Structure 1
């Protein structure tokens, strides 16, 4: 599991001539880091100086803490799902019957592989919204990390959207295609939101 690896071990696997882990897992780790940064800023926004907002800081930190392991699970799920797609493509296609079985297996595996990036889009969007809230009252000494979190979430979402684009092109079921296209649209909206959060932080830093 990626969450139990050292950073060096994970990066060695990521850089190896192996199909997994790949961009999807890397994107999920972007999200995990973004959530961790949000939690850190929220914890620095406590005490007497921030008493008015302390309940919000605790709520934001608690939710960010939940997103971290959720994102790490997505990383593992993405790795497993892509491995299943590869296995489907490696099935024998000698006879017509085998080709039919292989085609069906590829479709099923590709649809299943779309689930992790969809989950990653939702987690990334939530990180951005937590950052949007925290940017308005967060400790100014660490407020720049809200922008860093937003950009990490945006990277996660962009990676997930590209993965879904690939899945859409490979999936034949039109209803599934439509659902995935809607997820990509949400990803595009979230990426715009990430920019507004980063811009707001930069305004506060420059003020």
Structure 2
């Protein structure tokens, strides 16, 4: 599992020619790193309560990185099923749709994790130690990267998806991610202003 790998081992796998891990898993890890910085900033600002909340988000993101890798692998396996006969084509199509319906869950949940991360960052920034503002700013960049990963992954899964109800839900989640990106950008602009004095 990704969460138990060394950073070097993970990056070696990421750079390989294998289809997993990919963008979704990487996005989840980016959010986890960002929340780690928020936890550090919280502790330097004497907000252990916020750091404890952040540690739960980190754990969720690590689980999401593993879930995304499994989900994408299942989609790849489904696309690799034989389709030489009408029955095989029908089975393959159903398997692809089933796998896609599961694969959208981790990137969907990344958006939730980023929402939690931004809430934590906002609360830390309300009374932050000025020496950790750059760390919070970096955390916001990580959160934004996670949102980008979630959106492009959801868009990729959305294209072949035939379940229109689920597709509509994904479109709504993509819109939500775009709004969260705007929020992260606005927060980062405020951090930059504070650092610049």
Contact 1:128 1:149 in 2 (8 A): no
How far apart are 1:73 and its partner, in Å?
0.6
How far apart are 1:129 and its partner, in Å?
1.8
Query: What is residue 157 of structure 2 aligned with on the other side?
Result: 167
Paired residues for 1:98-117 under 5 Å: 98-117=88-107
Match among 160, 171, 187 for residue 181 of structure 1: 171
Query: What is residue 12 of structure 1 aligned with on the other side?
Result: 12
Paired residues for 1:87-126 under 5 Å: 87-126=77-116
How far apart are 1:151 and its partner, in Å?
0.9
Once residues 62 and 109 of structure 1 are traced to their aligned partners in structure 2, the CA distance between those partners, rounded to angstroms, is 34
Larger Rg: 1
Once residues 182 and 147 of structure 1 are traced to their aligned partners in structure 2, the CA distance between those partners, rounded to angstroms, is 27
How far apart are 1:125 and its partner, in Å?
1.7
Matched residue of 1:72: which SS? helix
Q: Deviations over 1:2-33 (max 9, x none)?
A: 11111110000000000000111111110110
Query: What is residue 157 of structure 1 aligned with on the other side?
Result: 147
Gap regions ≥5 residues in structure 1:
47-56
Query: What is residue 136 of structure 1 aligned with on the other side?
Result: 126
How far apart are 1:75 and its partner, in Å?
0.4
Number of residues paired by the alignment?
Answer: 197
Contact 1:135 1:200 in 2 (8 A): no
Q: Deviations over 1:99-158 (max 9, x none)?
A: 101000001101110000000011012111211221121100111111111110110011
How far apart are 1:169 and its partner, in Å?
0.8
Q: TM-score, normalised by structure 1?
A: 0.93
Matched residue of 2:131: which SS? coil
Once residues 62 and 178 of structure 1 are traced to their aligned partners in structure 2, the CA distance between those partners, rounded to angstroms, is 35
Once residues 53 and 144 of structure 2 are traced to their aligned partners in structure 1, the CA distance between those partners, rounded to angstroms, is 18
